[in-house]
């Protein structure tokens, strides 16, 4: 049911003499992410729909349909990166313009949509740009370009983004990223929904080789070869482990290199590359594991990040072994949900896992603490009120001066 108090407030703000049958119309837009994206659809759109907003989502999807109160408007998938960056933003913009009545807030999720965001702002729409990651640092991670080119492109992106953010509000996944932007802004961490049972089901007794799991995109920088080296080192020490690597491999030649490393180490029966799995199946693989791995390399874009996989391990009650990044300590070390190890050091990681596996009771405690932390502190239910309050602020017209044209700070400035 719509939130009638919100509808009444909206009618007062707009001067309408009639109360509508639903709340203010808003529209989320992405040309990159699928319509079922976890952050966009399952967190933000569904939260707004439950709060009584008339929620529309323009995104790549097989068909236009209404899902759980969210109106999905189909965008075809772009044929390539160039079309996605130059043409698809304006296809999405045209779809927004065709909505009747027009949305009062547009929430955009991709950097290439920023020119369209300015066009929408000039037509009277309040616009939020959702900063999913630090793009300037991500550019510095692209090793296929020479370092001087990466620095130049990163610097140029900062300048262009800073100009195109004029007059826009921003949402951020981490406080560390948010600090680079001026208000109005809000931090909405990519947290999972609270588990139904904080204690979780009792884990089955361990028998046979211990199971290690990694879920997410697979690349060298995300520890693909390191994890194979760790399993090989554990096998050399007589610690029998299996490893499931669940996710896509986009990096050219990497799968061939990984399979060669697996064969050379004699791990064909121990290490399995499953590719991308349906979400429910991936979560079942996590639940069946003894340890969840997140051994990312210390790249600029990862040093200020929160991989969802860490929270998925914690939610399943699985102890975490993660790279020793300061930004992950509140989730892994401070909660007692796992241990952190120096990244890119296979021997140190193997030492950490061996110590962990030698203490089943301690592992069980880590699993319980991780699940409890997700249930109480690190859950989307704690972020949702911030999202709703931010929308209320924008609808009320209580803008910070930085939201006016010319008020945005260059996002790369410190």
Give the mean pLDDT of 118-123. 95
Position 136 pLDDT exceeds 80: no
| Domain match, 178 and 261 both | no
Inside any domain, residue 411: no
| Domain match, 228 and 276 both | yes
Q: How confident is the model at residue 414 (pLDDT cuts 50, 70, 90)?
A: very low
Pick the closest to residue 117 from 136, 85, 89 (CA basis).
Answer: 89
Q: Which runs of E-coded beta strand occur in 259-401?
A: 271-275, 291-294, 320-323, 338-341
| Domain match, 10 and 145 both | yes
Give the mean pLDDT of 236-253. 94
Count how many domains the chain has.
2
Q: How far apart are CA 318 and CA 200, in angstroms?
A: 11
Give residue 157's pLDDT. 80
| Domain match, 85 and 108 both | yes
Q: How confident is the model at residue 70 (pLDDT cuts 50, 70, 90)?
A: very high
User: CA 91, 93, 94, 98 torsion: positive or negative?
Assistant: positive
Mean pLDDT of the chain: 87
| Domain match, 312 and 279 both | yes
Domain of residue 13, residue span: 4-189+383-403
| Domain match, 118 and 226 both | no
Q: How confident is the model at residue 69 (pLDDT cuts 50, 70, 90)?
A: very high
Inside any domain, residue 240: yes
Which residues contact residue 21 at a Cβ distance below 8 angstroms, ignoring those fewer than 6 apart?
2
Give residue 409's pLDDT. 47
Sheet holding 126-131, edge to edge: 65-67, 70-75, 54-60, 25-29, 105-108, 126-131, 169-172, 185-187
> Higher-confidence residue: 401 or 160?
160
Q: How far apart are CA 371 and CA 293, in angstroms?
A: 16
Cβ contact 57:40 at 8 Å: yes
Give per-residue pLDDT as tens, 4-48.
455 445 444 444 333 344 689 999 999 999 999 989 999 999 999
> Higher-confidence residue: 88 or 6?
88
| Domain match, 367 and 396 both | no
Give the mean pLDDT of 208-222. 94
Inside any domain, residue 77: yes
Question: How open is the CA angle 205-211-213, to the nearest 5 degrees?
Answer: 130
Give the mean pLDDT of 74-100. 94
Give per-residue pLDDT as tens, 155-214.
888 888 888 999 999 999 988 889 889 999 999 999 999 887 655 554 555 567 999 999
Give residue 4's pLDDT. 47
Q: How confident is the model at residue 91 (pLDDT cuts 50, 70, 90)?
A: very high
Inside any domain, residue 239: yes
Give the mean pLDDT of 236-240. 95
Only one residue has tokens 């300037």, namely 136
| Domain match, 336 and 394 both | no
> Higher-confidence residue: 240 or 138?
240
Give per-residue pLDDT as tens, 261-320.
999 999 999 999 999 898 889 999 999 999 999 999 998 878 888 889 999 999 999 999
Inside any domain, residue 58: yes
| Domain match, 340 and 314 both | yes
Give residue 206's pLDDT. 57
| Domain match, 67 and 163 both | yes
The CATH number for 90's domain is 3.40.50.2000
| Domain match, 280 and 393 both | no
Inside any domain, residue 73: yes
Inside any domain, residue 414: no
Inside any domain, residue 273: yes
Give residue 158's pLDDT. 84
> Higher-confidence residue: 151 or 6?
151
Q: In the numeric block, which tokens belong to residue 113?
A: 């949509």
| Domain match, 239 and 322 both | yes
């Amino acid at each position: 049911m719509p939130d009638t108090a919100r509808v009444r407030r909206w009618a007062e703000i707009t001067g309408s003499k009639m109360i509508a049958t639903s709340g203010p119309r808003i529209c989320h837009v992405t040309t990159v992410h699928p319509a079922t994206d976890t952050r966009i659809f399952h967190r933000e759109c569904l939260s707004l729909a439950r709060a009584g907003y008339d929620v529309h989502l323009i995104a790549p999807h097989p068909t236009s349909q209404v899902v759980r109160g969210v109106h999905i408007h189909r965008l075809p998938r772009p044929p390539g990166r160039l079309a996605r960056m130059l043409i698809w933003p304006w296809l999405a913009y045209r779809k927004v313009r065709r909505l009747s009545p027009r949305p009062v807030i547009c929430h955009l999720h991709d950097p290439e949509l920023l020119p369209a965001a300015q066009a929408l702002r000039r037509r009277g729409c309040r616009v939020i740009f959702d900063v999913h990651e630090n793009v300037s640092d991500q550019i510095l991670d692209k090793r296929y370009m020479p370092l001087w080119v990466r620095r130049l492109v990163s610097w140029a992106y900062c300048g262009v983004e800073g100009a195109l953010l004029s007059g826009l509000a921003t949402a951020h996944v981490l406080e560390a990223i948010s600090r680079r932007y001026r208000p109005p802004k809000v931090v909405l961490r990519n947290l999972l929904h609270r588990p139904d049972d904080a204690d979780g089901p009792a884990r089955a007794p361990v028998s046979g080789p211990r199971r290690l799991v990694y879920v997410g995109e697979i690349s060298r920088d995300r520890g693909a070869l390191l994890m194979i080296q760790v399993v090989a080192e554990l096998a050399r020490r007589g610690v029998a482990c299996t490893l499931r690597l669940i996710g896509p491999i986009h990096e050219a030649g990497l799968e061939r290199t990984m399979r060669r490393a697996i064969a050379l180490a004699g791990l064909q029966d121990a290490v399995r590359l499953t590719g991308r799995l349906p979400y429910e199946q991936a979560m079942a693989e996590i639940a069946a594991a003894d340890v969840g791995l997140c051994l990312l390399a210390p790249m600029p874009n990862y040093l200020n990040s929160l991989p969802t996989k860490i929270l998925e391990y914690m939610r399943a009650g699985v102890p975490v072994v993660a790279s020793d990044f300061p930004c992950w300590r509140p989730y892994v070390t401070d909660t007692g949900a796992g241990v952190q190890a120096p990244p890119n050091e296979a021997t140190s990681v193997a030492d950490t896992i061996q110590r962990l596996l030698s203490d089943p009771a301690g592992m069980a405690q880590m699993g319980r603490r991780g699940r409890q932390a997700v249930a109480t502190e690190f859950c989307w239910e704690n972020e949702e009120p911030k999202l709703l309050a931010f929308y209320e602020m924008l609808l009320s017209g209580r803008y910070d001066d930085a939201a006016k044209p010319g008020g945005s700070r260059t996002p790369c400035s410190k």
